[in-house]
Amino acid sequence: MGTMGVKVFLTGGTGFVGANLVRALLKEGYDVHLAVRDTSKLWRIEQILSHITLHKCKLEDVNDLRRVLKKIKPRGIIHLAAYGGSPNQKSKVETINTNLTSFINLIETAHEIGFEWFINTGSSSEYGIKDSPMKESDFPNPINLYGVTKLASTLYAQAYAKKFGLPVVTLRLFSPFGFYEDSSRLIPYIIESMIKKVPINLSCPSNVRDFIFIEDVIAAYLKVIQHISKLESGDIFNVGSGRQRTIMQCFEILKKITGYNIDPRWHSTEPRDSDLAKIWEADISKITSRIGFIPQYSFEEGLSRTVQWFYKYYVS
């Protein structure tokens, strides 16, 4: 599939994953269009603004969305906009509007206008707490509103795609980390604190996550775009490393990379719902067998590259 000049429309393109994906799409030759709001923070994409097209658009407003999509007529759509995944995002109304209402508006309006492929972004929070690595075939049992709304959008995408035979796929992301991640998130918070040589407040050292380096996440999106015409309508794929790590392991690796020598303050932050889990690991056998996706970066290498990036962009 040729990519040069192909129009792609992204929601959430100013966010962490989105900003990295936009850069990758530009390298592939895509004509990239982003939905933005008056409140959108553009710092992640300010260096590439001249290479992309921004469209003021309220996703919860069907007429506004229709106006923008009719103007662009994109061949591909990638939905990344989300709310409620961070502890500081507490509005229930905003969680429902962003994760569910806006998604329904987007997929239905996109179907009306026409598209060649559509990638929805899901979350490992859709699974809830499991006692083994999470498979796409597992019964979902989310434990908070964020997970419920993300699951609802995934199921709607699946049902809608199957009903109309549409090339729609959902990628369930586990715990991406890397360039342009917000400083309030775990790994950037640890790195910045180590660079500043200040004490670090952390939760339980045995809490687990399936961390995956952002370069591997982006590779998964690009591979799905390449193969989407051969995939089942509404299909779902996990995107993780396939190996969980504890917060303690994460801290110790970063400590070694940065030379930090202050003991962390364990159990000094408010626990999250997912902290109850003993296992939070993706089974990635499906995405590996169907499209050949295999993460290329070890956890240590991903952390090392992330630290280098933070030194370059935050210290210098």
CATH 3.40.50.10470 fits 181-210+243-283+297-315, yes or no: no
pLDDT band (50, 70, 90) for residue 276: confident
pLDDT for 313 equals 84
106, 79 Cβ separation under 8 angstroms? yes
For residue range 107-116, list pLDDT tens digits in order. 999 999 999 9
Radius of gyration of the chain (CA): 19
Q: Does pLDDT of 80 surpass 80?
A: yes
Tell me how far CA of residue 4 lies from CA of 25, 51, 53, 124, 180, in angstroms.
10, 14, 16, 33, 26
- Residues 137, 222: Cα–Cα separation, whole Å: 23
Q: Where are the alpha helices (DSSP H) in 165-278?
A: 186-196, 214-227, 247-258
pLDDT higher than threshold 60 for residue 316: no
pLDDT greater than 80 at residue 87: no
Residue pair 187/306 in contact by the 8 Å Cβ criterion: yes
pLDDT of residue 57: 95
Residue 8 backbone phi and psi in degrees, to 5: -125, 135
- CATH T-level topology, domain 7-176+211-239: Rossmann fold (3.40.50)
Please give the pLDDT value at position 315. Answer: 66
Share of the chain above pLDDT 70, in %: 99
Domain residue spans in the chain?
A: 7-176+211-239, 181-210+243-283+297-315
Query: pLDDT tens digits for 215-232?
Result: 999 999 999 999 999 999
Lowest mean pLDDT, pick from 1-5, 112-116, 153-157, 185-189: 1-5
Read off the pLDDT of each residue in 146-173 and give the average, rounded to a whole number.
Answer: 98
